[in-house]
Amino acid sequence: MRNGTNVVSQASLFSEWLRPKRDPELGDVFTRNQVSIHFDRAEHLYATWPTPTCIISDGPYGVNGFPGDHQKAESLAAWYEPHIKAWSEHSTPETTLWFWNTELGWATVHPVLVANGWEYRCCNIWDKGLGHIAGNANTQTLRKFPVVTEVCVHYVKAAAFSINDQSATMQEWLRHEWQRTGLPFRLANEACGVLNAATRKYLSPDHLWYYPPVDAFEKMAQYANEHGDPAGRPYFSLDSITPLSGERWSRMRAKFSCDVGVTNVWREPQVGGAERIQGERNGMKYKFKSLHGSQKPLKFIQLIIQASTESDDVVWEPFGGLCPGAVISSQFNRQYRAAEIIPEFYIAAIERLATT
Ligand SMILES: C[S@@+](CC[C@H](N)C(=O)[O-])C[C@H]1O[C@@H](n2cnc3c(N)ncnc32)[C@H](O)[C@@H]1O
């Protein structure tokens, strides 16, 4: 860590090939192929990392759950704010953010995310099942139902549009651009060669709106620029010089794909068995028995990385812990950057990646 502990010297039990390299600029960093784990604060590194397609945030929860966690959710919004601002600054409309937290932690931070341009998509719920309380929850003492969930909330960095210098959504902008041509809305169907689906889906002002796929966008833009009022040309342009190309249009929203049958309720027990990183491994004694209280199942990390990125895309995991994203990124050819500030976690994450 810059201006702090040098983990290279601490990790005396580390075999030479696992030893992190000391970079004069970046401090301690372990790199394997396209995957790098840093021993540093994430906020020191964002500006040096490549543009993310996916950010996995699993930072403080406000439940005193692991070393460095906050005692209460109240302080989370202020703590996350500089991180959220940096994520916004370095993201593009192709970027997806997965924000892990407790329900209350997320609710506390949600307004900060929205204020910084993150558009809410969906709240995914990790249901750890009854095994999580294993008969230990005395509801008469708790005075509530036992909690067996965490959330992984899906946000995207919505593309920025404007109408007359006022910010607008993509839906509003598309409708406005067509309106400017002076052509009736129904002619969007002719432009796309369909009976009525184009007007109904792509120019709708209500919740039935759909993002126009690239070929439909290209056809509407071409038709508008050929047949629309010449005085208003170009239409569907962001620079008032040329209409947006199909290729540019395809990069104006976050990637997403998933298999049939996946819903927003993810039923899976707390990480156990061979996947659970223990407090003592390969002769190295760590301070904590089950090393990290907040270890995430690789299954979920694979799900979110595969849903929101493609091969060679960049994944950020700023609060790495045991860096599950490193394991999955390495397996599925993603570029990956993580940070961790607790030496035991950092070393265990490197060891985990190196033995994947
Ligand atoms: C909830 S845990 C992450 C657990 C991880 N997802 C896993 O499955 O192992 C959060 C981690 O963030 C680390 N952390 C806290 N503040 C940080 C910062 N500013 N930069 C980097 N890491 C930080 C903590 O040390 C902790 O290990």
Say yes or no: CB of residue 337 within 6 Å of ligand 1: no
Q: What is the largest CA-CA distance in the chain?
A: 76
| Ordered strands of the 96-101 beta sheet | 21-23, 27-32, 35-39, 335-340, 314-317, 54-57, 96-101, 149-157, 118-127, 265-267
List all residues 6 or more positions away from 204 whose beta carbon is below 8 Å from its beta carbon.
171, 175, 210
Q: Are strands 149-157 and 118-127 parallel, antiparallel or unpaired?
A: antiparallel
Mean pLDDT of 257-271: 96
- Measure 342 CA to ligand 1 centroid, in angstroms: 8
> What's the total number of domains in the chain?
2
Is position 21 within any domain? no
CB 293 within 8 A of CB 65: yes
First CA to last CA distance, the chain: 25
CB atoms closer than 10 angstroms to residue 297? 19
Residue type, position 107, single letter: A
Residue with token string 């995957």: 35
**Helices assigned H by DSSP within the chain:** 7-10, 76-90, 103-115, 139-142, 170-181, 187-192, 197-202, 214-227, 246-250, 298-308, 324-331, 343-354
Mean pLDDT of 17-27: 73
Mean pLDDT of 257-274: 94
DSSP secondary-structure letter at 234?
S
| Residues 245 and 258 occupy one common structural domain | no
| Residues 149 and 178 occupy one common structural domain | no
Is position 6 within any domain? no
- Measure 236 CA to ligand 1 centroid, in angstroms: 43
Q: 304-343, pLDDT tens digit by residue?
A: 999 999 999 999 999 999 999 999 999 999 999 999 999 9
Is position 336 within any domain? yes
Mean pLDDT of 9-38: 76
Is position 8 within any domain? no
CB 9 within 8 A of CB 20: no
pLDDT for res 288: 54
| Residues 196 and 305 occupy one common structural domain | no
- Measure 41 CA to ligand 1 centroid, in angstroms: 9
State the residue range of the domain holding 193. 163-250
Report residue 285's pLDDT band, with 50, 70 and 90 as the boundaries: low
- Measure 323 CA to ligand 1 centroid, in angstroms: 9
pLDDT at position 7 over 70: no
Q: What's the mean per-residue pLDDT of the chain?
A: 91
CB atoms closer than 10 angstroms to residue 347? 24
Say yes or no: CB of residue 59 within 6 Å of ligand 1: yes
| Residues 152 and 275 occupy one common structural domain | yes
User: Rounded to two decimals, what is the model's pTM?
Assistant: 0.91
pLDDT for res 3: 61
Integer Cα distance of 151 and 59 in angstroms: 13
CB 109 within 8 A of CB 99: yes
Integer Cα distance of 299 and 343 in angstroms: 25
| Residues 90 and 143 occupy one common structural domain | yes
| Residues 41 and 122 occupy one common structural domain | yes
| Residues 127 and 170 occupy one common structural domain | no
| Residues 175 and 277 occupy one common structural domain | no
Of 250, 279, 306, the residue that ends a domain is 250
Integer Cα distance of 98 and 56 in angstroms: 5
Report residue 294's pLDDT band, with 50, 70 and 90 as the boundaries: confident
Of 209, 228, 250, the residue that ends a domain is 250
Is position 232 within any domain? yes
Is position 5 within any domain? no
| Residues 142 and 286 occupy one common structural domain | yes
Residue nearest to atom 27 of ligand 1 (CA): 321
Report residue 179's pLDDT band, with 50, 70 and 90 as the boundaries: very high
Integer Cα distance of 356 and 350 in angstroms: 10
Say yes or no: CB of residue 1 within 6 Å of ligand 1: no
DSSP secondary-structure letter at 149?
E
Is position 14 within any domain? no
CB 152 within 8 A of CB 184: no
Report residue 15's pLDDT band, with 50, 70 and 90 as the boundaries: low
| Residues 140 and 264 occupy one common structural domain | yes
Q: What CATH number corresponds to the domain at position 105?
A: 3.40.50.150
Report residue 152's pLDDT band, with 50, 70 and 90 as the boundaries: very high
Say yes or no: CB of residue 345 within 6 Å of ligand 1: yes
pLDDT at position 131 over 90: no
pLDDT at position 240 over 80: yes
| Residues 203 and 273 occupy one common structural domain | no
pLDDT for res 284: 57
pLDDT for res 277: 87
Mutate to test the pocket of ligand 1, among 1, 278, 319, 345 (most ligand atoms within 8 A of CB): 319
Q: 53-108, pLDDT tens digit by residue?
A: 999 999 999 988 888 888 899 999 999 999 999 999 999 999 999 999 999 999 99
Nearest to 36 by CA among 340, 324, 326: 326
Integer Cα distance of 39 and 339 in angstroms: 6
pLDDT at position 278 over 90: no
Give 58 or 138, the one with higher predicted confidence. 58
| Residues 150 and 194 occupy one common structural domain | no
pLDDT for res 1: 73
**3-class secondary-structure state, position 184:** coil
CB 64 within 8 A of CB 71: yes
Angle, to 10 degrees, between the axis of helix 103-115 and the axis of helix 76-90? 50
Q: Which of 171-180, 271-280, 341-350 has the lowest mean pLDDT?
A: 271-280
Integer Cα distance of 40 and 53 in angstroms: 22
Say yes or no: CB of residue 325 within 6 Å of ligand 1: no
Of 199, 231, 250, the residue that ends a domain is 250
Is position 87 within any domain? yes
